[in-house]
Amino acid sequence: MESYVLRVWLPDRPGALGAVASRIGAVKGDVVGIEILETGVGQAVDELVVRIPDATIVDLLVAEVRQVDGVQVEEVRPTGGEDHDPRLAGLEAAAALVVAATRSDLLTALDEHAPRSLTASWVAVIDRGAGELLRSSGADAPTSEWLAAFVVGAETGGGGTSDVAWAPLPESGLALVAGRNRIAWRDRERLHLDALARILDRRWQELADG
C-alpha cells in the first residue's frame, strides 16, 4: 500500500466529505486520517491521508475526487514512507525543545523536528533586531537578507506570500519563519507555528549560549 496526503477544498454541505470518501473507495483507497485546516464562508480545507494499492493510480484517485461537485484538490503528495500525523509530530518537536540543554542544542532540535512538524520545506530563526540568520534548515531556505526584509514587511502590514509564514519570539527578539513550495499556510497550521514559537521563545530565555 502507498500513502498520500490530499489537501482538498470541500463545500460546507452535508455529505460532501462522505462523497469524497466514496470516490476514494471506488479506486480501492482507504481514508486513514483527516485534519481540518481551515473553515470559511461555505468552504473548508481538509487534509486526508489516503492509502491506495499502488502509486500508479494517483492520477485516477485525484480525478475521482474532483468528480464530487464543488470539490477542488489543492495538493497531493506522498507521505514519504512515514505516517502523516501532524499532532504527534508537533508533540515530538515540543518535547525535543523542552529537553535541549543549550541554545545551540535548541536550534539543532528545531532543525531536526520543525520541518516535519510544520510540513515545511525549510525553517529559519532570525534575529529581528540585527537581521542576522541564526539557523536555517532545508536547501531552499532564503538568504538572511530576504528573511529580514520579509519579517519587517510582515510586521508593518506589507504584502507577503502565502507559502511563507512566521511567528515572533517577543521575549527573545527573534522570529521563526517557515516556508513551502507553493503550498499555502492555513489557519490551523499558523496556530501550530505560533505554539512552537512560544515554546522556543521561553526556552531561549531559560538557556545560556552554548
Whether the predicted pLDDT of 32 surpasses 70: yes
Q: How far apart are CA 23 and CA 34, in angstroms?
A: 15
* Grid coordinates of 174: 527573534
Distance CA 49, CA 77 (A): 10
Average pLDDT, the chain: 91
Residue 181 is predicted with a pLDDT of 85
40 pLDDT band, cuts 50/70/90, is confident
Determine if the pTM surpasses 0.75.
Answer: yes
Rounded to a whole number of angstroms, the distance between the first and last alpha carbons of the chain is: 45
Rounded-to-integer distance, Cα 41 and Cα 109, Å? 38
C-beta separation of 107 from 135 below 8 A: yes
Cα–Cα distances in Å, from 159 out to 123, 126, 151, 155?
20, 19, 11, 10
Q: Which domains does the chain have, with CATH numbers?
A: 2-78 (3.30.70.260), 86-206 (3.30.450.40)
83 compared with 103, residue with greater pLDDT: 103
Give pLDDT tens digits for 128-149. 989 899 999 888 889 999 999 9
**% of the chain exceeding 90 in pLDDT:** 74
The x, y and z cell numbers of residue 151, run together, are: 519579517
Dump strand ranges (E) for 93-173: 122-127, 132-137, 164-169
Grid cell listed for 139: 536547501
Q: What's the pLDDT score for residue 198?
A: 97
Mean pLDDT in residue range 38-64: 92
Which tens digits make up the pLDDT trace of 177-200? 999 988 889 999 999 999 999 999
The confidence band for 159, taking pLDDT boundaries of 50, 70 and 90, is: low
Q: How far apart are CA 111 and CA 65, in angstroms?
A: 35
**Per-residue model confidence (pLDDT) at position 154:** 87
Write the burial class of residue 51 (CB in 10 Å: 0-12 exposed, 13-18 middle, 19+ buried). middle
Predicted local distance difference test score (pLDDT) of residue 1: 83
Secondary element (H or E) of residue 73: strand 72-78
Q: Are 126 and 144 in contact (CB under 8 A)?
A: yes
